Structures are given as structure tokens and as C-alpha cells.
Amino acid sequence: METQNPSFKALEVLVCDDDELILKIIRHILEAMGIGYIKTTKSPETAIMLVREPTDKPFDFIVCDWNMPGMSGIEVLQKLRASGHQLPFIMLTSNATEEAVAEARDEGVAAYIAKPFTAEQVQRKVTAVARRVLKDD
């Protein structure tokens, strides 16, 4: 695994997936990368609420599963965009068809990680998004 990036310590990331094991794996990878604050939730509704809550420092980006009961990751993205939130989205999914990738890109997804994934794949995508976020600050 990649060594920690000291500049990642300032990042706040939200991870939403209905699978507890995936949440733990993603958290572990992000912690190993040196991400400073990681909040996880199994609920798409809670993810939306957490992003919309006014805080001193909002989330820098979200890692979200596409297929969840009740609401898809794309719907989470659409609801957040509709309420003015522009944070980058990294979409996790087992649906890696060309059509799905095109839909995600059309919706403004910053990065796409197909399940099953390796730690290196997650690190590569998260690093690319994190560097863009830090450059914009």
C-alpha cells in the first residue's frame, strides 16, 4: 500500500455503502493513506443529511456505492447537486458496463471504482480526487 500523504491529513471524507465489510475496507484504505477524518454510513439518506448539515468544514469528497436499497448512489449524487452541493463523487459499483460508466460520467462522477477492487485501485482513484480537491483549496 502507498505511504501516507501528509497533505491528506486535512481531508474529510464521507463513505456510504450498505455493506458493512466494504465500509471497513474503504475506511482502512483511507486511513492508511493518511486521510484525517472519515465518516461512514450504510444509509443513503444519512449520507445526504450529513453533507447538507452546516459544519465548519464540509466533506471534501464522498465515496458512495451505486446499488443500495431505497436509493442509488446516482440518486444521492443528484439530490446533493440539486441542493447546491458540488463535492466530488467517487462511485463504487459492481456494474462496470460501458453504459453505467457513461451514465456516471454524465452525472459528474469524479471517479469510478469497479467491485471487486484492490487497495491499489482505490488508492489511485482517491489520490487523483484528493489532489484535485487540495489544489482547489
Q: What is the count of structural domains for the chain?
A: 1
Is residue 84 included in any domain, yes or no?
Answer: yes
CATH number of the domain encompassing residue 18: 3.40.50.2300
| Structural domain for 87, as ranges | 6-60+77-124
126 CB-side CA count, 13 A: 32
Using CA atoms, how far apart are residues 50 and 53, in angstroms rounded to an integer? 5
Is the pLDDT confidence value at 137 over 70?
no
- Tens digits of per-residue pLDDT, 73-123? 999 999 999 999 999 999 998 877 788 888 888 989 999 999 999 999 999
User: Which 3 state secondary structure label does DSSP give 100?
Assistant: helix
pLDDT, position 92: 94
Instruction: Give the pLDDT confidence of 45-82 residue by residue, as tens digits.
Output: 999 999 998 777 789 999 999 999 999 999 999 999 99
Whether 12 maps to a domain, the answer reads yes
66 in a domain, yes or no? no
Residues forming a β-bridge with 91 = 64, 112
Q: How many Å separate Cα 90 from the centre of its chain?
A: 4
Question: What is the amino acid identity at position 33?
Answer: M
